[in-house]
Amino acid sequence: DTGVSQDPRHKITKRGQNVTFRCDPISEHNRLYWYRQTLGQGPEFLTYFQNEAQLEKSRLLSDRFSAERPKGSFSTLEIQRTEQGDSAMYLCASSLGWGDEQYFGPGTRLTVT
């Protein structure tokens, strides 16, 4: 078991460009979560999946953000028309199921210039 992995670890993009991040959860974990963490703050919830179904989205997840989890395995988070305010660490976590703790990946640090 290699834990939750995220790719890329760092991404620098220009304002207006689209970016996509990938998260590979711990195998057999049914739940997958996305969080965003800005400097000096705790992580903020964005969305989560139960298998391939997206069960909840935060109001932080504007129309420019979309997340998918095809086949209930890895997940992608896409940000369209990036803005400087999108600069943050994007964290992915997974859990086995209801009531289980979430295991976090190392995060993808996005810098929008």
Partner 1 sequence: AQSVTQLGSHVSVSEGALVLLRCNYSSSVPPYLFWYVQYPNQGLQLLLKYTSAATLVKGINGFEAEFKKSETSFHLTKPSAHMSDAAEYFCAVTRGQAGTALIFGKGTTLSVSS
For partner 1, the binding residues (CB under 8 A) are 4, 31, 33, 35, 40-45, 48, 56, 58, 91, 93, 95, 97-107, 109
CA distance readout (Å), 108 to 22, 26, 92: 9, 17, 9
Q: How far is the CB of 34 from partner 1 (least distance, A)?
A: 10
CA-atom Rg of the chain in angstroms: 13
Minimum Å gap between C-beta 88 and partner 1 is 14
Say which DSSP state 105 is in: -
| Least gap, CB of 10 to partner 1 (angstroms) | 10
- Residue 82 vs 108, nearer CB to partner 1: 108
Q: How far is the CB of 81 from partner 1 (least distance, A)?
A: 26
Reduced to 3 DSSP states, what percent helix, strand and coil does the chain have, rounded to the nearest 5? 5, 50, 45
Q: Which residue has the tokens 């953000």?
A: 65
DSSP letter, residue 74: -
Q: Measured from the CB atom, is 63 or 101 closer to partner 1? A: 101
**Nearest residue (CB) to partner 1, 80 versus 102:** 102
